[in-house]
Amino acid sequence: MSATTTDASARELHSGGDLSGTVRVPGDKSISHRALLFGAIAEGTTTIEGLLPAEDPISTAACLRAMGVTISPIRSGEIVQVEGVGLDGLQEPDEVLDCGNSGTTMRLMLGLLAGRQGRHFVLTGDDSLRRRPMSRVGQPLAMMGAEIHGRSNGNFAPLAVRGRKLRGAVIGTPVASAQVKSAVVLAALTAEGSTTVIEPAHSRDHTERMLRAFGANLEVVGEMGRHIRVQPGSTLQGQEVVVPGDISSAAFWLVAGALVPGADLMVENVGLNPSRTGILEVLEQMGASIEVLNERDVAGEPVGDLRVTHGPLKAFHIDESIIPRLVDEVPILSVAACFCDGESTITGASELRVKETDRLAVMARQLKAMGAELDEHDDGLTIRGGQTLRGADLDSETDHRVAMSLAVASLMAEGNSSLRRSEAAAVSYPNFWDDLERLQR
Ligand code: S3P
């Protein structure tokens, strides 16, 4: 039976199906950006296996190419080669650097470019990215002497960077954000004197792990790995990077497998870096059946295969202490909450309001269209469980993680749904719709 839809370009989403089989999620988005960026400023060649061939890393590669870096074509299943230009080798581009939808591209690029003396760069992005706050990066960089201009006192792109010699500093970042931390660390590589970054909470540490492997003089000191000290002066050497599957993409299958009656899914090759595994802890809190198999270390990152089977789920409660470790999984967890036994609460999640969309508002709006009972708060959601959602006309509102979360909600709905702007999924998971069709038999 097909869904009724008023928009011919909307994707039909069928409810029900068995949901079984094996899926290999595409490469980790955070690690993919970093492999391209660090490869670009290293000496020699970097090879990247498993790079995510999606819109966001393609934006990073396009910006780097515009500054003279040779990067082989990014195609699914192919190793990507980056010919490094060295720490100070990025050329002044003769075009605006378009970061597309990617906050990671823009924020890490600001850190990388702020110290390129005598060179001028202009960065922009799509409608969503031009509304996202950039002074969280600009302000710490300004403490190192950076000159970045933009709308609203430098908070919004388009941004102009005038490269300057930077000086090291001790910087407490305003939010637990790996993008902010990484921007400062990248600026520190060529600053005068050492830099220490202190985060309010531990955010994902892919930058620290990978930059050290490239040869940077970077130490993690203090409580819970929160102080990162960088000494400039080391050259980076090209590396062979292997990118594990993205746990943030795996999360859609993990929740779908836990929710859909009779489901049995194997999600292979998933990155299990402890700064990213909050979703597994919440699934455990819910009583979901998840087995971690074949745990191994791949190029400095822990990896495993995850088997999930359907079972009854309990309500969960998450607060600011875990948000940095599952920040991108809140949309799919809000879907899970609708089907748990009891009322779930998500607090301390105001960062969700400045992602690709205001994800608290968008998820509340879209789930309510399916009949969900929930309350939206400044910093989270309260969601009544045990609900019957009904198929509806849905909209990703251009957000990739919203698109995929709504696809999972639709599996569980009574009646089919339609989803406008479903193509947003390609920002982080280009084959998502094919994988869904294959697994939903
Ligand atoms: C990312 C960090 C997170 C995350 C984003 C990717 C990264 O953002 O939401 O998808 O690669 O560093 P914040 O640093 O803003 O928390």
Domain residues of the chain, as ranges?
4-27+244-439, 29-242
The pTM for the full model equals 0.97
Tokens of 237: 């050497």
Q: What is the mean pLDDT of the chain?
A: 96
Burial class (CB in 10 A: 0-12, 13-18, 19+), 373: middle
Is the CB of 405 within 6 Å of ligand 1? Answer: no
Report whether 237 contacts 87 (CB < 8 A).
no
Per-position DSSP letters for 257-296, written without gaps between them: HHHSTT-EEEEEEEE--TTTTHHHHHHHHTT-EEEEEEEE
The reported pLDDT for the residue numbered 18 is 87
Q: Tell me the percentage of the chain whose pLDDT exceeds 90.
A: 95
The reported pLDDT for the residue numbered 265 is 98
Report whether 108 contacts 186 (CB < 8 A).
yes
In tens, the pLDDT along 97-126 reads 999 999 999 999 999 999 999 999 999 999
Is the CB of 178 within 6 Å of ligand 1? Answer: yes
Name the percent of the chain in helix, strand, coil, to the closest 5: 35, 25, 40
Nearest atom, ligand 1, residue 181 CA: 14
In tens, the pLDDT along 66-87 reads 999 999 999 999 999 999 999 9
Residue type, 414: E
Domains 4-27+244-439 and 29-242 share a fold: yes
Tokens of 103: 């906050």
pLDDT at 304 over 60: yes
Confidence tier at 225 by pLDDT (50, 70, 90): low
Q: What angle do CA 327, 79, 87 make, to 5 degrees?
A: 70
| Nearest C-alpha neighbor of 111 from the set 86, 144, 81 | 144
Is the CB of 179 within 6 Å of ligand 1? Answer: yes
In tens, the pLDDT along 121-180 reads 999 999 999 999 999 999 999 999 999 999 999 999 999 999 999 999 999 998 999 999
Q: Which residue's CA is minimally distant from atom 11 of ligand 1?
A: 30
Is the CB of 30 within 6 Å of ligand 1? Answer: yes
Nearest atom, ligand 1, residue 176 CA: 16
Tokens of 409: 């909600």
The residue behind tokens 């203090």 is 222
Q: What is the mean pLDDT of residues 292-297?
A: 97
Where helices occur in 162-299 by DSSP H, the ranges are: 178-188, 206-213, 247-259, 278-285
Cβ atoms within 10 Å, residue 1:
9
CA distances from 339 to 182, 258, 314, 384 (A): 37, 10, 9, 8
> Active-site residue 379, yes or no?
no
pLDDT at 8 over 50: yes
In tens, the pLDDT along 13-52 reads 999 888 999 999 999 999 999 999 999 999 999 999 999 9
Confidence tier at 224 by pLDDT (50, 70, 90): low
pLDDT at 339 over 80: yes
Burial class (CB in 10 A: 0-12, 13-18, 19+), 130: middle
Confidence tier at 3 by pLDDT (50, 70, 90): very low
Over its C-alpha atoms, the chain yields an Rg (Å, rounded) of 21
- The SS3 of residue 229 is strand
Is the CB of 427 within 6 Å of ligand 1? Answer: no
Tokens of 339: 């089907």
- Within 8 A by CB and 6+ apart from 423, the residues are none
The reported pLDDT for the residue numbered 409 is 98
Question: Looking at 28, 328, 395, 435, which residue is catalytic?
Answer: 328
| CATH fourth-level superfamily of 4-27+244-439 | Enolpyruvate transferase domain (3.65.10.10)
Measured between alpha carbons, how far is 202 from 260 in angstroms, rounded to an integer? Answer: 33
Q: What is the mean pLDDT of residues 260-285?
A: 97
Measured between alpha carbons, how far is 441 from 88 in angstroms, rounded to an integer? Answer: 52
In tens, the pLDDT along 189-211 reads 999 999 999 999 999 999 999 99
Confidence tier at 223 by pLDDT (50, 70, 90): low
pLDDT at 5 over 50: no
Report whether 308 contacts 258 (CB < 8 A).
yes
For domain 29-242, give the fold. Answer: UDP-n-acetylglucosamine1-carboxyvinyl-transferase; Chain (3.65.10)
Nearest atom, ligand 1, residue 29 CA: 11
